[in-house]
Amino acid sequence: MNGARIALDAVFIANRGDAALRVIQTARRLGLVTAVACTRAELARSTAAVDAADYAVLLDGAEDAHGVSGGEASTGASAPYVDEKRVLTAAERFRETIVETRTFGPQLLSSLRIAVHPGWGFLSERADFAQAVLERGFRWCGPSPEAMQVMGEKASARETMANARVPTVPGLGLDEVEQSNRHERGLEETLATRVGYPLILKPVYGGGGKGMRVVRQPTELGRALQAARREARTACGNDTLLAERYLEQVRHIEFQVFGGYRDGEYRAVHLYERDCSVQRRHQKIVEESPAPGLPQETREKMAQCAVRAAEAVRYEGAGTVEFLYDADRDDFFFMEMNTRLQVEHPVTEMIVRQRHLDATEQEHVQASGMNSRIRTGARTVDLVEWQLRVAAGEALPVATQNDLFSLTPAHAMELRLYAEAPDEQGNWLPQHGLIDRFEIDGVDVGAHTPTDTLRIDSGVRTGDQVLMEFDPMMAKLIVCKADRQQTIEELGRLLETTKIWGVATNVPFLRTLLTDEEFIQGSDGRGRGVPVTWLEQRLPLLL
């Protein structure tokens, strides 16, 4: 964390729940005025984010937080948060509000510096939204719209990566193939030779694992294509598909990257990896760092590729480069880049530190021969603070890669607590309703003070509602102890003390997962972690 004053006045958060709270927490520490977007239902119920922010700005229409009515009715769904126009209008209304309420002279009106933070999900990866935010004179907490455009479309991202000498999974955009030959038969042949089976169909504008389909043999292709297109159209509003070789037994390992300018020069650094292989329906449930059993040499190679990926698009701000890792062959492939902060970023914040001394200071110490006698302190990294500072036009907060290190011995792990429960067939159903009580370790979840070993990032507290129309994630539990075993034990202990009344959650499942031998030992029994398909296969034994 940096003590220097930031060149920003306020932040408008185009998000809700734990994402909004996360941004508010840092913005407040930096002395910024905070505003959060909300729906009428959220305002009426006063969510944790609405309470925490200085201002709550309605997305629903011409109604505002001070009760001026007359707006159009809300659709009730998460739609307002993905409606660019509404979000932009809300941001502009906030700008007017804070101009009115502050005692600035009129000459300062134009210099009011407001950043828009998109959080994660919703509009966070929409290049056109970023563009519109910038055009309206706000600062944007994210990379340039151009970088978002290239990385947000899976086909162009693959091409950019190949040019940057980053290995990608064999695959091709179906558009391209279909334009060159119009027959289904031709498509089948092209895919068989240039991609191979099994393959996976993905929407090029996809996210959150939606609309993906594994095709094991050519005879399944026709139907799978139809279904994948249909799903892609509904989930992403675009049915362009990409076919990729489906890799069996791979792990999901991603690198946190951060880019910016320093002394007029572009630089990108990485903040080490997160292993996110424990997934259900391609969605992450557990994330950890370091990745269990990943050879140091491979880790470094992947990190370099991640930095090259960022450099290739002059990526500014926080991003994540995702890889699939084949542990048997010790080989990895670029999968995609997420052009935003991720849900699991606390794992990185728990385990990565920034050296107190910057490179020049270190050189000085070294030259004067004091190095061995000086214990260099380290400071924690706040990725939201980095985002806000870069958005404010400040330099990249670290001078070189060497200023960052991952604690050792240490192991950070995050568990996602969801309001969801399996039915008799084992299908997980999202739950909603009033939370009568939500405490961990005898303390209400909203009142936990983070420490170096435990952090709870929650979007709700006792007395809040889990609303049906939004993602049912309630909180993230992040622990960092000396090794994986101790971290798992501590998480297990915390889950035993977790009391959630009013809504059914996945806590009982998480408790079982943490005691599962394969989860603890890795599926090969040698501590090398589990592949992305592991949890789905193991699930019947865990319920």
What six digits make up the tokens of 23?
A: 């941004």
Q: Which of residues 316-335 bind ligand ADP (CB under 6 A)?
A: 322, 324, 335
**CB 473, CB 418: distance < 8 Å:** yes
Among 81, 94, 140, 246, binds ligand ADP (CB under 6 A): 246
Is 209 a binding residue for ligand ADP by CB under 6 A? The answer is yes
Options 229, 340, 353, 484, the catalytic residue: 340
Residue 146: CB minimum distance to ligand ADP, A: 20
User: What's the closest the beta carbon of residue 285 comes to ligand ADP, in angstroms?
Assistant: 12
Contact between 396 and 340 under an 8 Å Cβ cutoff? The reply is no
Q: Does 336 bind ligand ADP (CB under 6 A)?
A: yes
Spatial strand order in the sheet of 404-406: 378-380, 352-355, 404-406
Q: How far apart are CA 537 and CA 416, in angstroms?
A: 19
Tell the smallest beta-carbon distance from residue 208 to ligand ADP (Å): 5
Which is nearer to ligand ADP, 247 or 391 (by Cβ)?
247
- Which residue number, 171 or 260, has a Cβ lying nearer to ligand ADP? 171
What per-residue string of b and e applies to 64-79 under the rule 16 or more CB within 10 Å gives b?
bbeeeeeeeebeeebe
- Annotated catalytic, 340? yes
322/335 Cα distance (integer angstroms): 5
Q: Tell which one of 252, 353, 481, 528 touches ligand ADP (CB under 6 A).
A: 252
In 10 A of CB 62, how many CB atoms? Answer: 12
Tell me which residue has its CB nearest to ligand ADP.
532
Residue 152 interacts with ligand ADP (CB under 6 A): yes or no: no
Which contiguous run of DSSP H or E holds residue 147?
Answer: helix 145-152
Q: Applying CB under 6 A, does 228 fall inside the site for ligand ADP?
A: no
The binder of ligand ADP chosen from 91, 174, 200, 271 (CB under 6 A): 200
> Counting contacts by CB under 6 A, is residue 250 touching ligand ADP?
yes
Q: Which stretch binds ligand ADP (CB under 6 A): 75-83, 184-192, 208-216, 352-360?
A: 208-216
Task: Find the binding residues for ligand ADP in span 350-389 (CB under 6 A).
Answer: none
Q: What CA–CA distance (Å, rounded) separates 280 from 249?
A: 15
Q: Is 116 one of the binding residues for ligand ADP (CB under 6 A)?
A: no
Query: Smaller CB distance to ligand ADP: residue 24 or 278?
Result: 278
Residue 89 CA to residue 12 CA, distance in Å, equals: 12
**358-384 burial by CB neighbour count: b if 16+ within 10 A, else e?**
eeeebeebeeeeeeeeeeeebeebbbb
According to CB under 6 A, which one of 247, 347, 384, 500 is a site residue for ligand ADP? 247
Candidates 44-52, 103-111, 239-247, 255-263; binding stretch for ligand ADP (CB under 6 A): 239-247
The rounded distance, in Å, linking the Cα atoms of 496 and 476 is 15
The one among 28, 45, 282, 432 contacting ligand ADP by CB under 6 A: 282
Span of 15-23, 205-213, 260-268, 387-395 interacting with ligand ADP by CB under 6 A = 205-213
Total of residues contacting ligand ADP (CB under 6 A): 21
Q: How far apart are CA 189 and CA 121, in angstroms?
A: 37
Q: Is the dihedral of CA 480, 486, 490, 491 positive or negative?
A: positive
208 makes contact with ligand ADP (CB under 6 A): yes
By residue count, the chain amounts to 543
Contact yes or no for 138/114 (Cβ under 8 A): yes
Of 126-134, 160-168, 241-249, 453-461: span binding ligand ADP (CB under 6 A):
241-249
Distance CA 294, CA 331 (A): 11
Q: Are 277 and 294 in contact (CB under 8 A)?
A: no
Looking at the Cβ atoms of 202 and 528, the one nearer to ligand ADP is 202
Confirm or reject binding of residue 274 to ligand ADP (CB under 6 A). no
Q: Which residue has the tokens 């699991």?
A: 344
Contact residue for ligand ADP among 167, 207, 218, 508 (CB under 6 A): 207
Position 394 contacts ligand ADP (CB under 6 A): no
Contact 330, 295 (CB under 8 A): yes
**450: contact with ligand ADP by CB under 6 A:** no
3-state secondary structure of 198: coil
Q: Is 532 among the residues that bind ligand ADP (CB under 6 A)? A: yes
With CB under 6 A as the contact rule, the residue among 17, 121, 142, 206 that binds ligand ADP is 206
Contact region with ligand ADP (CB under 6 A), list: 46-54, 82-90, 215-223, 238-246? 238-246
DSSP, res 246: P
Pick the closer one to ligand ADP by CB: 178 or 326: 326
Question: Which residues are within 8 A (CB) of 116 and not within 5 positions of it... i.e. 6 or more apart?
Answer: 11, 12, 13, 14, 91, 133, 138, 139, 140, 141
In the bound complex, what is the minimum distance in angstroms from residue 247's beta carbon to ligand ADP?
A: 4
Position 410, amino acid: A
If one asks whether residue 279 binds ligand ADP (CB under 6 A), the answer comes out as yes
Contact segment (CB under 6 A) with ligand ADP among 186-194, 204-212, 390-398, 402-410 equals 204-212
- Reduce the DSSP state of residue 5 to 3 states and report it: coil
Q: H-type helices in 313-441, by residue range?
A: 345-351, 359-367, 383-391
The residues carrying an active-site annotation are: 340
Query: Where do contacts with ligand ADP occur on this chain (CB under 6 A)?
Result: 169, 200, 202, 206-210, 244-247, 250, 252, 279, 282, 322, 324, 335-336, 532
